[in-house]
Amino acid sequence: MNINLAVLIDGDNIPSANVKEMMEEIAKYGNPTIKRIYGDWTKPDLSKWKKVLLENAITPIQQYAYTAGKNATDSAMIIDAMDILYSEKVNGFCLVSSDSDFTKLATRLREAGLLVIGIGEKKTPTPFIVACDKFIYIEILKTRAKEKVDEDDKEAEKEAFDKITPKEIKLIAATITDLSDDDGWAFLGDVGSLLQKKRPNFDPRNYGFQKLTPLIDSINRFEIEQRDSPNSRHKLIYVKNKVKFASKK
């Protein structure tokens, strides 16, 4: 199924850096047929956006701040989102903001049966994150420079990633058990899908891994097995807890 996405960006709440990587990430989930960014373009702090808007065909929507201390951008985005929803021109939305004010909007769009992807900084409040089908941190979209980096840069790269904690390991183990057969094996694709449903911001890239397989392989808690596929040349990957994890009821 071809998924058409409406990409709505909170210009007051998102940095202009790495927009190219952000749009490339969005393209993995569907075709961004509507791309809009909201903000008061008379303000100098939004000037950095102007160049990247042209390069990425993003339409700027002017929204004046009518009252000091109030964010009129939120209201404009929400109104547009509902208009787009009722137009039935898209199958999903990508809400780009670190603001929890869009929590109710994300919930309403999902109630309508649409896919909702959130993109924001790591400071994004949990309510907005869990209201989305998937939430992606902007920090992990930053591409590494091709040039050789010095030791200080290497240390900065390490700090950009979260350290996987016993809480995440327990989540993975419980998910494997939820999906396992009588021998304890679970198909990795199903594990990844269920992890996403349980925690929308779970992403191997948060921990410095491009895929789920190397992340699981780095934890001395799980077994990985490759099996031949009857319908493809590609191997099927299955995972298993080395120690029985009792999560099934």
Q: CATH number of the domain at 114, please.
A: 3.40.50.1010
* Same-domain status, 71 and 131: yes
**Are both 111 and 16 inside the same structural domain?**
yes
CATH number of domain containing 219: 3.30.420.610
User: Domain range spanning residue 232?
Assistant: 166-241
Same domain, 175 and 122: no
Contact between 161 and 206 (Cβ < 8 Å): yes
Same domain? 27 vs 116: yes
* Residue 155 confidence (pLDDT): 52
pLDDT at 96 over 60: yes
Let me know whether 120 and 52 are in one domain.
Answer: yes
Same structural domain for residues 128 and 195? no
Calculate mean pLDDT across residues 20-24: 90
For residue 153, is it within any domain?
A: no
Residue 80 lies in a domain: yes
* pLDDT confidence band for 12 (50 / 70 / 90): confident
pLDDT band at 216 (very low <50, low <70, confident <90, very high): very high
Paired tokens of 204: 């191997």
36 and 108 housed in the same domain? yes
- Mean pLDDT rounded to a whole number for the chain: 86
51: confidence class by pLDDT, cuts 50, 70, 90: confident
DSSP the chain: -PPEEEEEEETTTS-STTHHHHHHHHHTTSEEEEEEEEE-TTSGGGTTHHHHHHHTTPEEEE----STT--HHHHHHHHHHHHHHHHT--SEEEEE-S-GGGHHHHHHHHHTT-EEEEEE-TT--HHHHHHSSEEEEGGGGPPPPSSPP-HHHHHHHHHHSPPP-HHHHHHHHHHHHHH--TTSEEEHHHHHHHHHHH-TT--GGGGT-SSHHHHHHTSTTEEEEEEEETTEEEEEEEEEESS------
| Tally of structural domains, the chain | 2
- Whether the per-residue pLDDT at 239 is higher than 70: the answer is yes
Instruction: Please determine, for residue 70, whether its predicted confidence score (pLDDT) is greater than 60.
Output: no
**148 in a structural domain:** no
pLDDT band at 129 (very low <50, low <70, confident <90, very high): very high
188 and 82 share one domain: no
Section 40-52 average pLDDT: 83
